[in-house]
């Protein structure tokens, strides 16, 4: 894959990819009806779109990670153009007519036909052409607005200045990573290697308040306006396509089926999560009252700080101390070997790989049974200016069968912002960051192990959105097993030094002390996302967000905050889809329960999981895949039982 670009090169490569794709698509449309076959219409279409994505997805990635801002800007522009191009392709009547005119002969061809035709019909091909033209214009406007929202977040450089006294309690090792001004104050960014330690350890409440207020106001004016504009455009598109709301349009064809089913699901979780959050917050308030007898209520910026106090005082868990046992390189190595044994693969570092930054490492993924190369993985895990602020996995192509019987090797990139190695210490991961890394590796395996014959039905981006997060969230479950923790841990000064058993057991015991607050927060995002995308007329995103925060978490939100302006998923593909995280968590716990029954390292169960969950892509509905692996219908009980069993009191 090409990793270095000159100004203008990304734009030129994108234009070439569009030209090539259009020429080939036109050939499908111009094929004589009597000469049409599944192979020269549906299968050929899949090949064309897959080849287009092969060329364009790496260009789009550069918009999120490339060190040169000008070239990164071209990548963001390529993403905007790509979204519009693919939507326009999926509204071409000549292609739709060609696809409808052929009869699939195999179950695989039938699945390709079903999914392809459904996409075209969702996008308006049952409507007159003049109405489709109006939808295309609206989609182009929507893409521009959402791309601007994303670019604003990528380019944001919000920082605050603090004195050493104001950062009292923040670990010395963290302070060393902050930039110092000429007058000795610390420059602190909103990226999570800076943000999280301040929120967890800063003794002064005002310091935490300032950090959270700044974080909740990233791109406040610009992105609030853009998000509300995007929501109105979505409503107009949905109406033209014959849907009651944007949520109805988006959810059509997913596991949930309808906004009503999503709302019913979210409502079913509100009472148990709200009750658990209140229970946890009462414990945290007692900690605050012990420090400050004048305290009468808990604030949003108190939650991380007093949760950390609860871990330390109630469970003898110190995140900073524990992180010393989880250097990034070791965690990666053990994670690779653990899942390698479970799923029959091996990961090997590619020496002297061509990468876009010295911080990036490339791995090849090999099938252990036959030594066959099956995938590549780039890891770009440290922060730098202009880089995507969050953790994410990007697919750089869509694996599929070639005409000659070979398979296109999938490529993924995990992008993160872990603490950068210092001279005297490697990158040390707090345990929640270990969990995040496992989550993203779950996405990687879902892409890398795909065996779907068609690129448009393979990998992480082409399954139902409310199934996408299931394999990644299931992967998080393993790290809480004592055996896995023992393998993962190794003190950075002597990797034979494991996390002591008492610290390990206390860590596991503290796992769910904030389960209610954590998932209630997820519920807030999911509910506000649904409200944004189901309400008619103009939407006040801040009003909805603040109201739901108060209703579900039971405490007041940050005064003057604009949190929806800084949630990438609201304008980055998870619109009317944020519920997927809670939805998938329910299923993920079900999946892991099968390993608990047979052994968490049981390779027979692992290969069965690979067969049913990781390999099929969108060749079957997600619910059928879950039933196939579990042998039964998955339900909520395992999640609710975990919620009931958790305790934050000591």
Express each pLDDT in 167-225 by its tens digit.
Answer: 999 999 899 889 999 999 999 999 888 999 999 999 999 999 999 999 999 999 999 99
> What mean pLDDT comes out for the span 567-589?
94
Could you give the residue ranges of the DSSP H alpha helices within 241-372? 246-251, 259-291, 303-315, 319-323, 328-343
Handedness of CA 363, 368, 373, 375 (dihedral sign): negative
In the chain the first and final C-alpha atoms are separated, in Å, by 53
pLDDT at 649: 67
Cα–Cα dist 556/534, whole Å:
25
**At residue 553, does pLDDT exceed 60?**
yes
The top-level CATH class assigned to 9-126 is mainly alpha
What whole-number distance in Å separates Cα of residue 110 and Cα of residue 128? 26
For tokens 């902050």, name the residue: 178
Q: Is the pLDDT of residue 533 over 80?
A: yes
What is the location of CATH 1.20.1050.40 in the chain? Answer: 9-126
In angstroms, the CA 309 to CA 303 distance is 10
Q: Are 443 and 412 in contact (CB under 8 A)?
A: yes
Longest dimension (CA), the chain: 84
Burial of 536 by CB count in 10 Å (0-12 exposed, 13-18 middle, 19+ buried)?
exposed
Return the pLDDT at 647.
77
Report H helices in 393-540: 431-448, 465-477, 482-488, 501-509, 515-532
Q: Which two tokens stand for residue 418?
A: 């872990």
> What pLDDT score was predicted for residue 591?
96
Catalytic residue among 440, 447, 477, 528: 440
pTM of the model: 0.92
Strands 411-415 and 373-380, by their bridges, are parallel
Question: In 10 A of CB 295, how many CB atoms?
Answer: 16
69-89 vs 44-65: helix axis angle to the nearest 10? 150
Residue 418's nearest CA partner among 178, 189, 192, 190 is 192
Whole-angstrom distance, CA of residue 474 vs CA of residue 391? 17
Q: How high is the pLDDT of residue 129? A: 87
In the annotation, is 440 catalytic?
A: yes
Owner of token pair 């005002």: 206
The yes-or-no verdict on residue 650 having pLDDT over 60 is no
On the question of pLDDT at 604 being above 60, the answer is: yes
């Amino acid at each position: 894959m090409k990793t270095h670009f000159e100004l203008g090169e990304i734009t030129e490569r994108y234009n070439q990819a569009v030209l090539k794709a259009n020429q080939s698509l036109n050939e499908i449309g111009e094929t004589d009806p009597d000469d049409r076959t599944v192979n020269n219409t549906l299968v050929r279409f899949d090949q064309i779109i897959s080849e287009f994505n092969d060329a364009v997805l790496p260009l789009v990635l550069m918009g999120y990670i490339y060190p040169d801002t000008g070239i990164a800007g071209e990548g963001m522009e390529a993403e905007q153009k790509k979204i519009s191009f693919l939507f326009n392709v999926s509204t071409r009547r000549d292609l739709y007519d060609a696809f409808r005119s052929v009869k699939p002969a195999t179950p695989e061809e039938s699945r390709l036909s079903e999914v392809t035709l459904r996409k075209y019909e969702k996008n308006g091909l049952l409507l007159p052409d003049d109405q489709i033209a109006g939808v295309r214009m609206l989609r182009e406007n929507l893409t521009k607005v959402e791309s601007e929202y994303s670019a604003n977040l990528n380019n944001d450089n919000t920082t605050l200045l603090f004195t050493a006294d104001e950062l009292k309690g923040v670990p010395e090792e963290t302070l060393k990573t902050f930039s110092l001004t000429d007058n000795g104050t610390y420059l602190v960014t909103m990226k999570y290697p800076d943000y999280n330690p301040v929120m967890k350890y800063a003794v002064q409440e005002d310091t935490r308040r300032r950090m959270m207020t700044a974080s909740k106001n990233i791109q406040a004016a610009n992105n609030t306006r853009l998000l509300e504009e995007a929501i109105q455009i979505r409503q107009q598109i949905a109406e033209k396509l014959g849907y009651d709301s944007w949520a109805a349009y988006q959810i059509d064809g997913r596991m949930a089926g309808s906004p009503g089913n999503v709302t019913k699901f979210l409502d079913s979780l509100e009472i148990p999560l709200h009750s658990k959050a209140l229970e946890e917050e009462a414990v945290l308030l007692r900690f605050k009252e012990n420090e400050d007898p004048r305290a009468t209520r808990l604030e949003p910026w108190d939650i991380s700080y007093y949760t950390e106090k609860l871990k330390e005082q109630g469970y003898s868990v110190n995140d900073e101390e524990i992180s010393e046992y989880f250097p990034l390189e070791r965690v990666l190595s053990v994670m690779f070997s653990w899942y390698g044994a479970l799923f029959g693969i091996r990961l090997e570092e590619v020496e002297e790989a061509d990468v876009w930054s010295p911080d990036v490492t490339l791995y090849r993924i090999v099938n252990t049974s036959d030594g066959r190369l099956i995938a590549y993985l780039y890891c770009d895990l440290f922060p730098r200016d202009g880089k995507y602020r969050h953790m994410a996995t990007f697919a750089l192509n869509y694996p599929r069968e070639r005409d000659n019987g070979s398979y296109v090797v999938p490529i993924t990139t995990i992008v993160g912002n872990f603490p950068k190695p210092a001279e005297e210490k490697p990158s040390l991961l707090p345990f929640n960051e270990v969990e995040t890394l496992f989550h993203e590796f779950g996405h990687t395996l879902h892409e890398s192990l795909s065996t779907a014959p068609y690129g448009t039905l393979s990998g992480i981006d082409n399954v139902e959105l409310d199934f996408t997060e299931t394999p990644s969230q299931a992967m998080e479950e393993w790290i809480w097993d004592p055996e896995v923790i023992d393998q993962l841990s190794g003190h950075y000064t002597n990797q034979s030094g494991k996390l002591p058993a008492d610290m390990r057991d206390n860590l596991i015991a503290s796992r769910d002390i904030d389960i209610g607050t954590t998932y209630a927060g997820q519920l807030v995002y999911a509910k506000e996302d649904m409200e944004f995308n189901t309400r008619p007329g103009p939407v006040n995103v801040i009003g909805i967000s603040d109201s739901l925060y108060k209703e579900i978490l039971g405490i007041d939100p940050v005064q003057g905050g604009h949190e929806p302006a800084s949630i990438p998923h609201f304008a980055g593909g998870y619109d009317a889809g944020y519920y997927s995280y809670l939805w998938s968590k329910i299923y993920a716990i079900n999946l892991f329960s099968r390993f608990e029954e047979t052994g968490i390292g049981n390779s027979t169960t692992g290969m069965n999981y690979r067969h049913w969950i990781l390999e099929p892509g969108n060749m079957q509905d997600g619910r059928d895949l879950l039933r196939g692996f579990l042998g039964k219908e998955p339900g909520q009980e395992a999640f609710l039982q975990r919620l009931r069993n958790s305790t934050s009191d000591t």
